[in-house]
Amino acid sequence: MNLHEYQGKELLASYGVAIQRGKLAKTVEEAVNGYKQLQSETGTQYCVVKAQIHAGGRGKGGGVKLAKNMDDLKQHAGNILGMMLKTPQTPGGMNGEGKLVRKVLIAEDCYAPDFDACKEYYVSILMDREKKEM
């Protein structure tokens, strides 16, 4: 099962896990509305525009951008939506065809005062569906 970042965050939040809040957008107009909602809810002026494709390394391919104001947001959302994002994990890698970005996550800026103290975790679940005889 492949989940987009926003779907994984929704799942974690449903179990009470603190997450970086965000709003899903399919258009620049939706991105603007999401940014305004985040500003109202969090008080932040910054947000992160994140391409939602099934591949890692989105930042390396230009699919993750920091927006410091509304003009930045419109520019980044407009550039990322509709782009063929090439990352090390898309078919053919950075020189391949890439994947079409149809959605972006407008996420709150999460400031970490001691970034070196932060830890990054990855979770994977493998299910064995083989029926075993008793």
Tens-digit pLDDT profile for residues 67-113: 999 999 999 999 999 999 999 888 888 888 899 999 999 999 876 66
pLDDT in the model for residue 30: 98
Domain boundaries, position 45 = 5-117
Helix (H) or strand (E) segment spanning residue 66: strand 64-67
- Cα 132 from Cα 81, distance rounded (Å): 47
Q: Evaluate whether residue 79 is within a structural domain.
A: yes
Q: Report the CATH number that the domain containing residue 27 is assigned in CATH.
A: 3.30.1490.20
Give the predicted TM-score (pTM) of the model: 0.81
Q: Tell which phi-psi region holds residue 96, choosing left (phi > 0), alpha (psi between -120 and 50) or beta.
A: beta
pLDDT in the model for residue 114: 74
Q: Evaluate whether residue 124 is within a structural domain.
A: no
Q: Evaluate whether residue 90 is within a structural domain.
A: yes
